């Protein structure tokens, strides 16, 4: 990944563009993610740090694939909305079983 960013200045622009395209998915996923919740003092910081780490894998993989970022505003909006929907689906897929088993455990304890 470092070699791609050192080769020319367009690579950094592509990297930032891809980072901004994949950011909504990770942030929405981490918003619904039940881990790092209210119990920790730095919960928000940890969630953003985990989202950043999850974001680097697809972005570093796709940096060499995209030759020129598309600057069509409607395509960018559709991509951002689809990323938000995918992130919501992934986050709820993780959160719903966690909260169901947590509620079931509370019922058993009573």
Tell me the C-alpha to C-alpha distance, in Å, between residue 45 and each of 13, 49, 51.
26, 6, 10
20, two tokens: 């901004």
d(CA 76, CA 78): 6
pLDDT of residue 42: 58
Per-residue pLDDT band for 3 (boundaries 50, 70, 90) equals low
56, two tokens: 């680097």
- The pTM score is 0.69
Residue 67 in contact with residue 45, Cβ under 8 Å? no
Nearest to 96 by CA among 34, 11, 39, 42: 34
Q: Express each pLDDT in 58-97 by its tens digit.
A: 888 877 777 665 667 777 788 888 888 998 998 899 889 9
């Amino acid at each position: 990944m470092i070699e791609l960013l050192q080769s020319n200045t367009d690579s950094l622009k592509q990297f930032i563009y891809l980072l901004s395209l994949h950011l909504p998915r990770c942030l929405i996923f981490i918003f619904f993610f039940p881990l790092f919740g209210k119990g920790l003092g730095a919960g928000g910081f940890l969630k953003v740090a985990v989202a950043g780490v999850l974001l680097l894998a697809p972005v570093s993989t796709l940096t060499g694939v995209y030759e020129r970022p598309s600057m069509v505003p409607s395509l960018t909006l559709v991509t951002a909305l689809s990323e938000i929907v995918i992130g919501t689906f992934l986050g709820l897929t993780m959160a719903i079983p966690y909260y169901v088993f947590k509620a079931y455990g509370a019922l058993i304890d009573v």
